Amino acid sequence: MAVACFTLLSLKSFSQDKNFYIFICFGQSNMEGNAKIEAEDTTAVDSRFRMLQAVDCADRGRVKDNWYTAVPPLTRCKTGLTPADYFGRTLVANLPEKIRVGIINVSVAGAKIEVFEKDSYQSYLATAPGWMKGIVAEYGGNPYARLIELARLAQKSGIIKGVLLHQGESNTNDTLWTKKVKGIYDNLIRDLNLKPKKVPLLAGEVVNADQGGVCAMMNKIIATLPQTVANSYVISSAGCACSSDHLHFTADGYRLLGKRYGDAMLSLLGYKHKENH
């Protein structure tokens, strides 16, 4: 009886709020965030926009596995602006006041999509450069497992409403990319006990050809993702400014791309973008 009471108390200590919308973000450097964070990105961040800290950041007073207002960086301690920043801002600006938005972001710069394959990531990492292994080490050595760990923790507080992906540069011309993404998405759905019809996958294009993107040909493959993953949607990067390497977006590019992710999700949730935002 004592055990039963303790169990009930434990369950009640975690209050799942149906109005707390959680979004899983993963990918490589553009989802991690590459552009320098500017003053406008750190001011007036609505407290309804939350982030679940993935790694300890002592210099920022953040402890992993805890929720904070989503002031960038949203991934590791020294990362930059990400599409997730303005995705979240767009949502909270347009959703009812009672709804909060939470972000989980586990991304690995330079990595192929294989780094998130739960059964074979080790073989990929075996030949990865030391700096990449260092990033992965911050996530406990297994990015997918860390993503699941954070998502399960988040599920105690809110409801997972979608998955955001930005990856592909390191898999350019890989015609099996869509099948690999489907495998990871299916694992997420299964491991988190989600219903795919209720959890769309939004995948952003890499730097567009109109910006001289060096991996722009990958967008033709990304465009076919909805043929493989039924509830998936491609977010255009057309007109999103890029840096001089033509691989990463500028801060303005991330802001625009993030808003597009946000607008797409708003539509899927049944809301419209308010005219004054």
Residues annotated as catalytic (active site), given as ranges? 29, 245, 248
For residue 160, give the 3-state DSSP assignment.
strand
Q: Cα(213)–Cα(207) distance, rounded to whole angstroms?
A: 5
Q: Where are the alpha helices (DSSP H) in 37-176?
A: 39-42, 83-94, 121-125, 130-138, 143-154
The token pair at 234 is 């491609």
Residues 6+ apart with CB under 8 A from 179: 228
Residues 6+ apart with CB under 8 A from 30: 82, 83, 166, 167, 169, 204, 206, 248, 249, 254
**CA 118 vs CA 16, 38, 174, 255, 275: distances in Å:** 27, 35, 19, 31, 42
**CA 185 vs CA 37, 190, 226, 268: distances in Å:** 30, 9, 12, 18
Is residue 187 within 8 A of residue 51, CB to CB? The reply is no
Q: What's the DSSP call for residue 3?
A: H
Q: What are phi and psi of 174, to 5 degrees?
A: -85, 105
